[in-house]
Amino acid sequence: MAVRVGVIGTGWIGSEHIRRITDRVGGAEVVAATDIDADRAARAVAGTGARVLAGSEEVVAADDVDAVVVTSWGPAHAESVVAAVEAGKPVFCEKPLATTAEDAQRVLDAEARHGSRLVQVGFMRRFDPGYAQMKDVIAGGGVGTPLMAHCVHRNPTVPESYHSEMAAQDTAVHEIDVMRWLLDDEISSVQVLTPRRTSHRFEHLRDPQFMLFEMAGGARVDLEVFVNCQYGYEIGCEVVGEEGTVRLPEIPGAVVRSAGRRSTPVLQDWVQRFAAAFDTEFQTWADEVAAGTPTTGPNAWDGYAAAVVTDAAVRALHSGGVVETGIKARPAFYA
Amino acid sequence: MAVRVGVIGTGWIGSEHIRRITDRVGGAEVVAATDIDADRAARAVAGTGARVLAGSEEVVAADDVDAVVVTSWGPAHAESVVAAVEAGKPVFCEKPLATTAEDAQRVLDAEARHGSRLVQVGFMRRFDPGYAQMKDVIAGGGVGTPLMAHCVHRNPTVPESYHSEMAAQDTAVHEIDVMRWLLDDEISSVQVLTPRRTSHRFEHLRDPQFMLFEMAGGARVDLEVFVNCQYGYEIGCEVVGEEGTVRLPEIPGAVVRSAGRRSTPVLQDWVQRFAAAFDTEFQTWADEVAAGTPTTGPNAWDGYAAAVVTDAAVRALHSGGVVETGIKARPAFYA
Amino acid sequence: MAVRVGVIGTGWIGSEHIRRITDRVGGAEVVAATDIDADRAARAVAGTGARVLAGSEEVVAADDVDAVVVTSWGPAHAESVVAAVEAGKPVFCEKPLATTAEDAQRVLDAEARHGSRLVQVGFMRRFDPGYAQMKDVIAGGGVGTPLMAHCVHRNPTVPESYHSEMAAQDTAVHEIDVMRWLLDDEISSVQVLTPRRTSHRFEHLRDPQFMLFEMAGGARVDLEVFVNCQYGYEIGCEVVGEEGTVRLPEIPGAVVRSAGRRSTPVLQDWVQRFAAAFDTEFQTWADEVAAGTPTTGPNAWDGYAAAVVTDAAVRALHSGGVVETGIKARPAFYA
Amino acid sequence: MAVRVGVIGTGWIGSEHIRRITDRVGGAEVVAATDIDADRAARAVAGTGARVLAGSEEVVAADDVDAVVVTSWGPAHAESVVAAVEAGKPVFCEKPLATTAEDAQRVLDAEARHGSRLVQVGFMRRFDPGYAQMKDVIAGGGVGTPLMAHCVHRNPTVPESYHSEMAAQDTAVHEIDVMRWLLDDEISSVQVLTPRRTSHRFEHLRDPQFMLFEMAGGARVDLEVFVNCQYGYEIGCEVVGEEGTVRLPEIPGAVVRSAGRRSTPVLQDWVQRFAAAFDTEFQTWADEVAAGTPTTGPNAWDGYAAAVVTDAAVRALHSGGVVETGIKARPAFYA
């Protein structure tokens, strides 16, 4: 009865998800996997009973694959997702859904042709208990109509391969999705300000960046992206509504009093921070796939919107000015 | 390669653990189960591929059962555990290990005869991230030699079947174990004070109770047990050392500002509070069983000590005075 | 129009109060002072325009002294207070009102003869904003009938002159008063437990001490007194009622995130901690004296009760057992 | 020996300061006051012994006035301050120092002619203990070179007379001063974004506003001004440096647990929030005036800079674009 999953791409995150599905998700098992490096694929499925297939087409086509997980290289995501949709199989695609708006549009078109939604995109924050509580409060009217949101996204350090555009593409993309969801609105424009640079960075990188988003309904979201903040990994978010505000909880830690100070540890990476969110994300997906109901996580439209806004943010970084995203209202198909 | 588990007792907690092992623990699977109600056992293993056996002897003896989980009625625990030890199989026993000190002693004797440790007792708090951080701080000398600890254990309400002795047996038993572990010392005496009773309780129940423990090394632990506190489920713990203190973190929640107040939700039950601890507990146990190394969780001695101290606490409730536990130093076998 | 104050005793606290009345309290001025060391008195009033008098009788008798502040050596308090009452003058007496129950009784008798209340005792915590909020919450029924309270009173260090009995007399006396006030009840018995001693203390001192108070109505109060806790000065208090709890706020400080930790400073002494409470205490007293209304701060009965309970606590420390305070219900005169 | 103060303007804030100097500040007394409404002046000094003078010239000229406090109508401030400087008297001017940059320049010119600094401007936040701790941390290198700051300034409601430009002139002006001080740098440009308006406001008002400041050294400051936030009065500030961040503490309150929530009260007005800061501000000023040393609080240059930046912010609100403040580096005279 378990959902039989085929995995396309077995790099770090693919291997993580294979372990997750195997070890921590009920009602799902990995039965097949592929990777451009077949040895890596073999190592990733060792001990799971899954077999290694030659390519993504084989995974999508396999009779015993009920659903597909796409965790390959970003630019290859859209093609695999479209193939899965055309095969009528539910597909979970790690973020990004696509690295260009055109590719994302292809996924929307494929789902439209298919006639129902099959795609979920891996924005795991929607499954974080703190964000979920915020969503409940906002959707329940607990703070009134949202007017503003203030966000921070900090990493202790990044490797040299991290470049300035990744502040939007890899980092801010999480807030782009989660703020669209929390505020239930599309992002209409983006601006990226560049504060004084930290000296703790590789020369080529603009860090920190301060991003300003305007929602279609007029709410404003600001976001500090600071990926070499040194002290730890931390995510902050406060939504300000007409009657109150709601804030993402700080991650707790044992409180030590000593030597004149009261202190708690700060997490050092996102894997710790969102481990529970990833588990809940996959469990929920597996349950919904098993039930045959449409998945309720972020869908192809969310992936498309993230691609469009991320693109605009990169252009805004380059231009220094306000960039319109040009995104349309959400189609009824994705309501 | 997965550890094949046989489960004795498929009531609420047994069924929970079957689901946990099946769905959220890697490297372990349930292959057999038994219960005095065979239909209940069948329901508990539905969809897992495990078979129902006639009794605990059959589970322990089954060739394909590598390790045993005991989640039957408390008074039956010791017998099943002894049987598993005599069969040379690792056994995880939900708390209590035994409901009398004599029964607990039988388990110690069985392990002594076997010559190595096979038993883990289900005190899941040691696997809670907050307590684990406390342990690290204390063991690392971060607050100096412990002198005192202040604990609270609150439930919103309890059913009528909960009686005054259960404050020690079912509720305080968790603190009895976790404080022995945090302070790395045995409890030498107990006293139970009875504050004014809450009016929100069934007539027969002493609630709240305020328990005072003295450790062999002289540290003092106090514990508020209040199982009809109305407002929520909450666990508090602060250990006071010669140079500082360390406190269990409060469970975070989205912070709402509205109508002149800043507020966060409080959890309402222990299942939510310790869900992650249960998962970590079983994953760690399964990993250690698979590795063939002794399990590092609470052992039979810890189960014995909890039984002895719980017993003393019940006598202290009845007598009103200080009751010596009479517990010996931990044998080298359990060092 | 200002209240003209005469001060008896110009040691550290007397000098502090002279400066307070002169500099930070409106509607009051110091016009006379005395001390066994006349030079010290002269230094204490320098720049205030007040004159030095020969003794406490002269201060009480002076025509231009409307109200008296007693800040002499503790054992001398009662005599000066009685004299002020007999002269019909409002008198503010620093804690303790008396160092023996007999002396405190003399003050009660003097007020009874006088026929109205003139005495306020310097328990400043009732004027701390945090405690005041707690009082409002409890008195307003916000947590239901109080059942328990958990308190801590920590100093970083004490000088060698601090002896074991002072844990009750000088330190716990503040909680003795404030808990009587918060719970609106008398303390009927005391027990003092002696946890393992900290090694950071002078040899003669029992530190920490853990005190247990029972209220006449059955509520239980526990109090950690730890005067060599090293890390800072900290006061904690949580009152647990039938429907909820209320807790004294932690003193805030700028939150620094750095090097993997989130931390805030802890205060190092009680002068900082209660500076605002002292100011409010004196301003309120001066306003009420000026208005000719009875002062609403802690009165002679509160001073008497503190003396009786403190006494019992000292005996409890010596005996190790439960000591009944023997205190009667509050007379209608002090309702 | 007390500093004898003359007060120009006895409206609400002038009367407050007269009471403050009389009642809560040591070493200072009000000896004269004036107001366009002589009756109001008489009421303001009632009971203080101060006399009412005909106009500001008389106050400045009075032989027994050692120092002047200017709390008149904003547009009249500069003239009185210049007069005091020309008379060689220390002068404390409530914010704003001037309502135009030209008027502020006149004060700078007067001090230059006089040859030493005599002016302090009433930016009381520098005397708030939380901000003072932040200053210490930043100046001590505790978070590294500042790169960004995130601020919020919220009032529950404002009266109809509050108009959109006052968001800069009356509200943000406090952050303009305190951020210049914390970051030890001038503000080079301003932009004002206008999020969706709250419906809880008078029709003419843009509320909230989101302001963006760039410092000469490249750090960026963002500020939410939301003066009809409904829930309470709250000030937030986090400075982000190269190695860490420091945050203004939240105002504490008694923590109540009840009905499934943990909550604390939020203050409702700035008078409560900054009462202690005002007292410290005046005490420090009086002490420094008495000592004859230059006052160390915000000076005329700070008043000038605030006027210039506030002006730029108003233009930025109207234009929607980035407005350069054109402010020069701080002259050595004000170092």
Interface test with C, best of B227, B242, B262, B266 (most C CBs within 10 A): B242
Q: Write the pLDDT tens digit of every residue in A263-298.
A: 999 999 999 999 999 999 999 999 999 999 989 999
The complex's ipTM works out to 0.96
Three-state helix/strand/coil letters over chain A: CCEEEEEECCCHHHHHHHHHHHHCCCCEEEEEEECCCHHHHHHHHCCCCCEECCCHHHHHHCCCCCEEEECCCHHHHHHHHHHHHHCCCCEEECCCCCCCHHHHHHHHHHHHHHCCCCEEECCHHHHCHHHHHHHHHHHCCCCCCEEEEEEEEECCCCCCCCCCCHHHHHHHHHHHHHHHHHHCCCEEEEEEECCCCCCCCCCCCCCCEEEEEEECCCCEEEEEEECCCCCCCEEEEEEEECCEEEECCCCCCCEEEECCEEEEECCCCHHHHCHHHHHHHHHHHHHHHHHCCCCCCCCHHHHHHHHHHHHHHHHHHHHCCCEECCCCCCCHHHC
Omega before D195 cis (within 30°)? no
Q: How far is B258 from chain D (nearest CA, A)?
A: 5
Residue contact B262–D250, C-beta within 8 A: yes
Give the pLDDT confidence of B301-332 residue by residue, as tens digits: 999 999 999 999 999 999 999 999 999 889 99
pLDDT at D154: 98
- The answer to which of A151-155, B43-47, B192-196, C23-27 has the lowest mean pLDDT is C23-27
In this prediction, residues A149-166 reach a mean pLDDT of 98
**If you average pLDDT over residues A62-85, what whole number do you get?**
97
Strands C28-34 and C3-8: parallel
Residue C208 has pLDDT above 90, yes or no: yes
CB B69 within 8 A of CB B6: yes
Interface of D with A in 125-184 (CB under 8 A): 144-145, 147-148, 150, 152
What is the sign, positive or negative, of the torsion defined by CA atoms of A260, A262, A263, A264? positive
Tell me the pLDDT band of C335, cut-offs 50, 70 and 90. confident
What's the pLDDT score for residue A1? 66
Cross-strand partners of C277:
none
Contacts of A65 (CB under 8 A, 6+ apart): A4, A5, A6, A31, A32, A59, A89
The CATH code of the domain at D3-125+275-299 is 3.40.50.720
Nearest residue on chain C to B214, alpha-carbon basis: C195
Task: Please check whether residue D296 is in contact with residue D266, taking contact to mean a CB–CB distance below 8 angstroms.
Answer: no
Nearest-5° angle of CA A124, CA A129, CA A132? 80
- Which of A17, A23, A248 has the highest number of chain B CBs within 10 A, making it the mutation to test binding with B? A23
What is the reported pLDDT for B55?
96
AA letter at D27: G
Minimum distance, in Å, between the CA of residue B255 and any CA atom of chain C: 17
Chain D environment of A224 (Cβ under 8 Å): 148, 150, 240
Which single residue is written with the structure tokens 């290859």? A76
Round to whole Å and give the CA distance between A31 and C71.
83
* B55 in A contact zone (CB under 8 Å): no
- B201 pLDDT band, cuts 50/70/90, is very high
| Residue A112 Cα distances to A66, A97, A295, A334, C179, angstroms | 20, 16, 16, 10, 69
Whether A55 shows a pLDDT value over 80: the answer reads yes
Beta carbons of B257 and D263 less than 8 Å apart: no
Please tell me the distance from the alpha carbon of residue A242 to that of residue A104, in angstroms, as a whole number: 35
- The domain locations on chain C are 3-125+275-299, 127-268+306-334
Q: In terms of Cα–Cα distance, which of D88, D94, D104, D149 is closest to D124?
A: D94
The pLDDT, as a whole number, for residue B335 is: 84
E strand map for B155-270: 187-193, 209-215, 220-226, 234-241, 244-247, 255-258, 261-265
Distance CA(B93)–CA(D213), nearest Å, equals: 62
**Would you state the pLDDT for residue D87?**
98
**Residue entry with tokens 């062999």:** B216
Residues of B in contact with D231 (CB under 8 A): 257-261
Please name which of B155, B122, B163, B167 lies closest in space to residue B269, comparing C-alpha atoms: B155
Are residues A262 and C266, on separate chains, in Cβ contact within 8 Å?
Answer: yes
- Judge: B224–C217 Cβ closer than 8 Å, yes or no: no
As a whole number of angstroms, the distance between CA C96 and CA D82 comes to: 54
DSSP D124: G
Question: CB burial class (10 A; 0-12, 13-18, 19+) of residue D38?
Answer: middle
Q: Could you tell me the end-to-end alpha-carbon distance of chain A, in angstroms, rounded to an integer?
A: 30
Q: Which fold is adopted by the domain B127-268+306-334?
A: Dihydrodipicolinate Reductase; domain 2 (3.30.360)
Report the chain D residue with the minimal C-alpha distance to residue B257: D231
Type of residue found at A95: K
Give C214 to chain B, closest Cα distance, Å. 8
In this complex, do C23 and D19 lie within 8 Å of one another by their Cβ atoms? no
| Joined tokens for residue C263 | 């931390």
Q: How far apart are CA D153 and CA D185, in angstroms?
A: 21
d(CA A73, CA A40): 14
Residue closest to B164 by CA, chosen among B320, B323, B291 = B320
Residues of chain D with pLDDT under 50: none
Nearest residue, CB atoms, D246 vs list C47, C137, C255 = C255
pLDDT-above-70 percentage for chain A:
100
> Locate tokens 């550890």: which residue?
B3
Task: Inspect the interface and report whether the beta carbons of C257 and A250 lie closer than 8 Å.
Answer: no
- Backbone conformation region of residue B223, classed left if phi is above 0, alpha if psi is from -120 to 50, else beta: beta
Q: Confirm if C250 and D250 have CB atoms less than 8 A apart.
A: no
**Is D262 part of the contact surface with chain B (CB cutoff 8 Å)?**
yes
- Closest to A307 (Cα-Cα) out of A119, A138, A170, A117: A170
Nearest to A242 among D144, D199, D212 (CB): D199
Q: Which of chain D's residues have a Cβ under 8 Å away from the Cβ of A198?
A: 144-145, 147, 242
Q: Report in angstroms the alpha-carbon separations of C220 from B72, C185, C239, C304, C330.
A: 38, 11, 10, 21, 19
CA-based radius of gyration for chain B: 20
Distance CA C52, CA C43 (A): 10
Q: Is the pLDDT of residue B1 over 90?
A: no
CB contact under 8 A, C254 and D23: no
Reported as a single tens digit per residue, the pLDDT across A18-42 is: 999 999 999 999 999 999 999 999 9
DSSP 8-state code for residue C193 = E
Find the Cα–Cα–Cα–Cα dihedral B274, B280, B281, B287, rounded to 10°: 170
Residue pLDDT, tens place only, B59-88: 999 999 999 999 999 999 999 999 999 999
Q: B219 at the C interface (CB within 8 A)?
A: yes
Q: Cα B17 from chain centroid? A: 14
Name the residue of chain B whose CA is nearest to D233's CA: B260
DSSP label at residue D161: T
For residue D231, what pLDDT is reported? 98
Burial label for B316, CB within 10 Å (0-12, 13-18, 19+), is: buried
> What does the alpha-carbon distance between residue B156 and residue B268 come to, in Å, rounded to a whole number?
7
Structure tokens at B228: 């009809």
Name the band, by pLDDT with cuts 50, 70 and 90, for residue A335: confident
pLDDT digits (tens, 9 = 90+) for A191-214: 999 999 999 999 999 999 999 999
Are C257 and A230 within 8 A, CB to CB? no
The C-alpha atoms of residue B55 and residue C308 are separated, in whole angstroms, by 65
Measured CA to CA, the distance from residue C79 to residue C75 in angstroms comes to 9
Angle (nearest 5°) at CA D72 between D71 and D76: 125
Strand partners of residue A67: A5
- Classify D46 as helix, strand or coil: coil
Cβ of D267: how many Cβ atoms within 10 Å?
17
> Dihedral, CA atoms, B297, B299, B303, B306, nearest 10 degrees?
-60
Share of chain C above pLDDT 70, in %: 100
Written as six digits, the tokens of C73 are 């050596």
Residues C130-139: tens digit of each pLDDT: 999 999 999 9
Decide if A148 contacts A219 (C-beta within 8 A): yes
Residue of A nearest to C251 (CA): A262
Q: Closest residue of A to D218, CA-based?
A: A196
Distance set, CA A238 to CA A222, D182, D197 (Å): 10, 24, 18
pTM for this model (two decimals)? 0.97
Predicted pLDDT of residue C307 = 96
Strand partners, D28: D3
Counting DSSP H helices and E strands in chain D, the numbers are 10, 15
Identify the pLDDT of residue D41.
97
To the nearest whole number, what is the mean pLDDT of chain C?
A: 97
Q: Predicted confidence band at B203 (pLDDT cuts at 50, 70, 90)? A: very high
List phi, psi (to 5°) of C149.
Answer: -145, 140
Distances (CA, A) of D127 to C229, D233, D279, D296: 31, 18, 9, 11
How many angstroms separate the CA atoms of B232 and B212, rounded?
23
CB of D254 within 8 Å of any CB in chain C?
yes
Burial class (CB in 10 A: 0-12, 13-18, 19+), A140: exposed
Question: How many CB atoms neighbour CB A331 within 10 A?
Answer: 11
What residues form DSSP beta bridges with B1?
none
Burial class, D56, CB count within 10 angstroms (exposed 0-12 / middle 13-18 / buried 19+) = buried
Residue contact C264–A268, C-beta within 8 A: no
